[in-house]
Amino acid sequence: MPKKDKLFNELEQIHLEQQQRAGSKAHPVVSDAEKAQRKAEGKTRGAKGAKMDRINMAFYTDNFEYLRIMSKIKGQTMTAFCNDIIAEHREAHAEIFEEARQIIERMK
């Protein structure tokens, strides 16, 4: 066995032993339906295999400041505040969004 693999196995074993001593429990595995529901509600924490969709974004300085300040005022994270802004915009433009979705479907 190469040294790298042996070292990795040893580190993994140490990590597992530390988890057992700390009394940590493994995350429950969830079904596909539960994954979808958790993602829609934004409650994927602690569910093995259920992860939120992510993107890396860059903001202009004034927009970033707005997000930071307004999210604090509302008592939300910046992510939750951005999701609220997008939800409001999506509701205000529901018809256009649905038309665009249908156009894209026809193009496939």
Q: What is the pLDDT of residue 3?
A: 65
Residues 6+ apart with CB under 8 A from 95: none
What mean pLDDT is reported for the chain? 83
| Nearest partner of 54 among 39, 37, 36, judged by Cα | 39
Report whether 38 contacts 50 (CB < 8 A): yes
Quote the pLDDT of residue 103. Answer: 95
Q: Answer yes or no: pTM beyond 0.95.
A: no
pLDDT above 80 (res 73): yes
Residue 29 forms beta bridges with which residues?
Answer: 48
Tokens matching residue 45: 């924490």
For position 21, what pLDDT does the model report? 67
Q: Which residue has the higher pLDDT, 50 or 26?
A: 50
